[in-house]
Structure 1
Amino acid sequence: MTRRLPRTARLAASAALLCAGAPALAGSHVFLVQNSGWMEPFYTDPVSPFKPLVAEIVMAATRPGEPMVLAAFNQGVPGAPSPRALLSLKVDPVPTRRQVVGALAALEVARKPGSTALADTDLNEAVGSAIGTALGGKPGLVWLFTNNRNSPNNDQATALRNRDFYQLIHRGGAISKALAFPLQMPVQGAQYRANGLMVYVFAVGAQGARELDALLASGRLQQVITEPAARLKPLDRDTVRLVPRKVSDGPGVAFSMAPNGVLHADVDAEARTPSARIEWNLENTMYPYTIVSATLGARSVLGGENHPIELAGTQVSKLAPGKSAPLASKMQLPVGQLPGKWSMQAVTSAGSAYVVPGRIELQLSGQRLELSHAFRQRMATLFPGDPLPDIFTPPAQIDGSTAVLRIEVRVHYGVGPLVALIGAALALLGAAAAAVLAMARPRKAFVTVEDELRTMHARAGTTQPIYDKAGNKVAQLKTTLFGHQLIDLREGAQVQLGR
């Protein structure tokens, strides 16, 4: 038997090879391609689609400018560390495709140093090195292409080895999200045959999970892998989805689901109904798990108000993945917090909608999950005799989950108040304009001074002096919008308005 390196020495050796020539930034993607003895038929079958599939997934998963590492792995031994970097670069679609295809074309099944024996496999070693070394502890995605056999030193106790892999995925804090794609790929080699291939993707860190979600939302990966993704982690959130089916006892309220997954509640401005009865479809989105049983609870957080949602039934049972069950509820709406139609919010929202963001939270407690029968059968067909499907067993500590549905209450205000306010504003402007014109126009005033009738011209807002025949100032004429007025009248002066 070949002597096995201590784990620390193996990780150090694999780190040196995995990071050789790595880009300045930590790789956003690390692609680990198994080339141990168990993979022999994938490499030697003349019609094997294995290498073309890997190349297409690499190109679909990456975007221009993203750093990536392509590495082969088996099991690190003295003289042959694992993983081994094949490429380390920043993606430029045309040359990168050429480089990836070339590197895979040259990759062969590995043998132990100084022996004809085929190399063994250590999935934990490969994934651990990718997370800790190639990514350097930074966020990113680790991809694993494997025949699902984890047997270091040709150890036949694969169940024990698989439990180690289970611990790495489910209990390791670095991996925030994990998906698996079991693919049918019948291949025949000189020594072995296989029916299927497993493609894993592990998101490292919260940012890695967001990158994986964005990739799945883009649809690029689904153009290469048409099988649904089997979820490994997380199993405690977003396990179900609420889809509105019918609204009753809520006049002036209509619900619809936007393409981005946000629930829109369109409310008429006159609606003041405090609640609405909503019938939902509760859909299990946690492929490949059946929700054997769970207790439901729900609440809404809207417009600063937190209200429980009354559910007609609180139990769900035997809900298969992708299937849905009816769920009736009574939901409070924040109508008391909505602006009136004469409010500034309503006026500024005229012709569109005033939006109150919020969320609906659905809690599943006492949750029991199990792999669906159809998925077990598929795994048994693709990987006969392999106990690795145990990796899909939910951790014992996960007995609940939460699903959050974003909601926007949209109040639609008519343009009537806005038109009325615009009319009032125009009237005020007209009155102001008339006042300005009135002030600017000279006005005629008749003033009698010592029996002498005089005609004076004055603009509103002005004051003019009045003199007697001797040239002495005897009064002042003040002119306003409303007429004329004598002020500062000298005692004994013979001055009056008019004739």
Structure 2
Amino acid sequence: MRALVRHVLALLALLLLAASAGATPHVFLVQNSGWMEPFYSDPKSQFKPLVGALAGAVVQPGDALVLASFNQSLPGAPSPKALLSLKADGKTVRGRVNEALANLDTARKPGSAALADTDLGEAVQAAISTALGGKAGIVWLLTNNRNSPNNDQATAARNREFYELIHRGAAIDKVVAFPLRMPVQGRHYQANGLMVYAFAVGKEGSRALDSLLASRRIASVITEQPARLKPLDRDTVRLVPAQVEDAPGVAFSQAPGGGLRADVDPDARTPHARIRWNLENTMYPYTIVSATLGARSLLAGEDRKIELASTRVNGLAPGKPQPLGSTMQLPVAQLPDKWSMAALKSAGSAYVLPGRIELHLANQQLALSQAFRQRMAELFPGDPLPDIFTPPPSIQASNAVLPIEVRVHYGMGPLAALGGIVASLLAAGAAAAWAYGRPRVAQVTVEDELRTMRARPGTTQPIYDKAGTQVAVLRTTLFGHQLTDLREGAQVRLGR
């Protein structure tokens, strides 16, 4: 039975994935083991409405959605168990999810009145390998954080196994968690909080999760700041420009999407700039206790070290930036001259040189913030989970890559001047063409007879005497007329 349900779940998901090429598959895992009893029995519980609202906010039209309940798989009681699979249309997702959850209740062990146990790792692994079928996507896990397979009371060890899956699982690229306050009182248990995890599977899943976080679609339902669990070795800090000194015509700013932008005047030729930044920690809820900081820029094919006023980072907490001075080389030698073809093509807009700034933190030491520990203790009393948030000892360095684009703003002056020159040349050419095509009048005297002849430049005309014999040839140019091929003894001349 277990294999059958999982096979059906995989089949449904893969069919949806095939029909949703280019979209993001979402798997929602909803815990219904015994420890979740108050979330189902308390009439004031907002657990099920939360699931529907979150799915309705994050699942986009065309995305594949698989909804499944989970506890711990036993013979005759498979877990996870599919509740719903669909291709989202953007309008009915929330209602369909609410409808699928309406009759869901806490599960019991097969053939027993005992409530089912919980295995978080089993559920996540099944979602990755079976529901997603090894493809990229996002797995959402809604749980009370009680990980107790076979009612194992050694929850610290079980949680450690769960976080080993997070940090060691090669398929999982990014994980964020949202600890939520949700006090509920059931017939058997009471709880203060709920945890929502988002597991980004694969690079595409990570980009999709980043996009959801940036769009604030998640924040429309969950206002709690996401706590990052993975990765802790990349994108850990960012630079926010504060001031540019000793570099006339150069200005730094934040670009849409979180990158940096350097706006440069076309006449700016300062080879370097002193820039004051604010260094920010992007790894909530961790504080960078200490680290050695290095930086370099890669612009216009040049790899240059950024000289920092300080290479030490100490006590950098999220939301509390530290000032950082630097001297940065500018690619002025690679900027097109304002009379170049590249500049003329960019007249009135901007010529863009893409690049990046790379930051490296060595000897990195992280610490979980005390405020986060206290919040977790309030939401999940007696749960040793916050200790498991401690970063793996293997993570002692991190890298951050900040995209930067150098934008050179060329005015319309050179293009207008060039346009004037081209217009003048065209006018001169038109005048020359008119002059070239205009017939010229020539006065020719043949045997005392004055004749008037008309010819265009570049043409020749034979001249005959009164007897009809050719005695000369009239050649006409832009500069006048001339007689050629004169017959000996002929009485022919230009003019009277």
Instruction: List per-residue Cα deviations over 1:71-94 (Å, max 9, x = no partner).
Output: 110001111111111111222344
- Structure 2 match to 1:174: 171
The question of whether the paired residues in 2 share the 8 Å contact of 1:293 and 1:316 is answered with: yes
The question of whether the paired residues in 2 share the 8 Å contact of 1:80 and 1:113 is answered with: yes
Matched, 1:299 2:290: no
Quote the Cα distance in structure 2 between the aligned partners of 1:476 and 1:360: 78
The question of whether the paired residues in 2 share the 8 Å contact of 1:302 and 1:334 is answered with: yes
- Structure 2 match to 1:160: 157
- Structure 2 match to 1:327: 324
Moved more, 465-474 or 321-330: 465-474
Alignment of 1:358-397 (within 5 A): 358-397=355-394
Matched, 1:217 2:214: yes
- Return structure 1 stretches of 4+ with deviation > 4 angstroms: 20-23
Quote the Cα distance in structure 1 between the aligned partners of 2:8 and 2:452: 108
Superposition CA RMSD, Å: 1.7
Secondary structure of residue in 2 paired with 1:43: helix
Identical columns (%): 71
Instruction: List per-residue Cα deviations over 1:400-420 (Å, max 9, x = no partner).
Output: 111112112111222222222
Quote the Cα distance in structure 2 between the aligned partners of 1:263 and 1:345: 23
- Structure 2 match to 1:90: 87
Letter in structure 2 aligned against 1:161 = R
Moved more, 442-451 or 316-325: 442-451
Quote the Cα distance in structure 2 between the aligned partners of 1:274 and 1:496: 74
TM-score (norm 1): 0.94
The question of whether the paired residues in 1 share the 8 Å contact of 2:52 and 2:95 is answered with: no
Alignment of 1:273-292 (within 5 A): 273-292=270-289
The question of whether the paired residues in 1 share the 8 Å contact of 2:288 and 2:364 is answered with: yes
Instruction: List per-residue Cα deviations over 1:103-155 (Å, max 9, x = no partner).
Output: 21201111111111111000111111111111111111111000001110001
Matched, 1:151 2:151: no
Secondary structure of residue in 2 paired with 1:130: helix
- Structure 2 match to 1:137: 134
- Structure 2 match to 1:25: 16
- Structure 1 match to 2:21: none
The question of whether the paired residues in 2 share the 8 Å contact of 1:299 and 1:362 is answered with: yes
Quote the Cα distance in structure 2 between the aligned partners of 1:400 and 1:258: 27
Secondary structure of residue in 2 paired with 1:375: helix
1:260 Cα offset (Å): 2.3
Matched, 1:242 2:239: yes
Letter in structure 2 aligned against 1:24 = L
- Structure 1 match to 2:200: 203
The question of whether the paired residues in 1 share the 8 Å contact of 2:10 and 2:132 is answered with: no
Structure 1: gaps (5+ residues): 1-8
Alignment of 1:408-487 (within 5 A): 408-487=405-484
Matched, 1:352 2:353: no
Matched, 1:400 2:391: no
Letter in structure 2 aligned against 1:463 = T
Instruction: List per-residue Cα deviations over 1:239-267 (Å, max 9, x = no partner).
Output: 11100000110011111212322322111
Moved more, 88-97 or 240-249: 88-97
Quote the Cα distance in structure 2 between the aligned partners of 1:304 and 1:457: 66
- Structure 1 match to 2:20: none
1:209 Cα offset (Å): 0.9
For residues 451 and 246 of structure 1, do their structure 2 counterparts lie closer, same or farther at Cα, with a shift above 3 Å needed?
same
Letter in structure 2 aligned against 1:271 = A
For residues 20 and 481 of structure 1, do their structure 2 counterparts lie closer, same or farther at Cα, with a shift above 3 Å needed?
closer
Instruction: List per-residue Cα deviations over 1:284-335 (Å, max 9, x = no partner).
Output: 0111110011111111111121211111100001101122100000111111
Instruction: List per-residue Cα deviations over 1:323-351 (Å, max 9, x = no partner).
Output: 21000001111111111122122222222
Secondary structure of residue in 2 paired with 1:427: helix
Secondary structure of residue in 1 paired with 2:174: strand
Alignment of 1:55-134 (within 5 A): 55-134=52-131
The question of whether the paired residues in 2 share the 8 Å contact of 1:23 and 1:89 is answered with: no
Quote the Cα distance in structure 2 between the aligned partners of 1:195 and 1:414: 62
Matched, 1:337 2:310: no
Count of residue pairs the alignment pairs up: 490
Quote the Cα distance in structure 2 between the aligned partners of 1:330 and 1:475: 83
Quote the Cα distance in structure 2 between the aligned partners of 1:412 and 1:379: 51
Quote the Cα distance in structure 2 between the aligned partners of 1:304 and 1:32: 47
Quote the Cα distance in structure 2 between the aligned partners of 1:491 and 1:161: 123
Secondary structure of residue in 2 paired with 1:24: helix
